[in-house]
Amino acid sequence: MNGNLTCDHYAVSLNINTHEPDHIRKVPTFRKFRDINVPDFIEDIKHCETLMNVNQSVEELVAAYINHLSILVDRHAPECTKTITLRPNTPWYTDTLRHAKHERRKAERNWRKTRHNVHWQIYRNQCKVVNKLLVQEKRNYYCNKIAECGSDQRRLYSLTKDLMGVPNDATLPSNTCVESQFGDFFINKVAAIREEYDTCDATPSVDIMADDSIFGGCPLEYFSPATEEGICTWSFDILYVFPPVGEIIQRHNINHHCP
C-alpha cells in the first residue's frame, strides 16, 4: 500500500494470475438467398407438374406448394451454418486502433506469403504496437469515465460494478400479482382509518363551549404618543434586527438623528 491517505480507505493494487473466460460462441443457420439464380429458379417452378395441376382441392394445393417450394429452396439455397463469437461491447475501440489492427493483419498476410524473417519481425513489431495501443485506449476511456462521475457516488458505483462484471439489470419481482397487492395495501389502509374513526368515541374530552377564563390584567384603552427619542431607539433596533428596513430608513433619510 503506497500513497497518501485522502480518505478512510486505502487503494490496494495487486496482480492476479487468472484466466480470462472464453467468449460465448453461437452457431446460427441461414440461407444465401442472394446467390439464387432467379431465371433457373423460375424455370424449375414452371416445370413442376404438381404445382400446375389445378384439379385439386385447396388443402392439397397448399400442401404441394409448400413441399415443392421447400425442395426447390433447399436445392438453390441450401442451409448453411456459421460459428460466430459474441464479443462484449468495446466503446474504447477507436479509429486509430482499427487502423493499427488493419496494418497488423496486412503484415501477417505478407509474412505468411513470403515466410521471410524480416516480414516476421515486422509482424511482431506491429503486434506490440497494437497491444500497447489497446491498453492505452482502454485506460484513457475509463479514466475519462471516472473523471466524468466527479462527486456523484452513484454513477461511480455503477461504473465500478460494470468494471467488475456485475450486471446492472434491475431485478423485477417474479410474482405477477404484485400490482394487485400494492393497490390492495392502500385500499385496506384507507378502510382501516375510516373504521377507526367510526369506532372512536364521538364525545370530546374537553368542553369546547365552556366559558373563557376572566382576564385579570390591565386592559388596553389608549395609545401613548410617540417621542423623538423612542423613534430613534426603534430605528436603531430595526437597523440590526431587520437590515432591509433599516436600509430603507437610511436611504430616504427619514430621521437624521437615527444611526
Residue range 104-134, pLDDT digits in tens: 999 999 999 999 999 999 999 999 999 999 9
Residue 25 pLDDT exceeds 80: yes
Ranges 86-90, 152-156, 183-187, 202-206: which has the least confidence: 202-206
Helix (H), strand (E) counts: the chain: 9, 4
DSSP letters spanning 25-83: EE--EEE-GGG--HHHHHHHHHT-HHHH--SS-HHHHHHHHHHHHHHHHHHHS-EEE--
Residue 203 pLDDT exceeds 60: no
Residue 49 pLDDT exceeds 80: no
* Residue 109: per-residue pLDDT: 94
Three cell numbers at 91? 466503446
Ranges 33-37, 39-43, 235-239: which has the least confidence: 235-239
- Provide the phi-psi class of 115: left if phi over 0, else alpha when psi is between -120 and 50, else beta: left
Which residue has better confidence, 116 or 150?
A: 116
* Residue 145: per-residue pLDDT: 86
Cα diameter, the chain = 124
Residue corresponding to grid cell 460466430: 84
- Spatial separation of the C-alpha atoms in residues 100 and 129, rounded to whole Å: 8
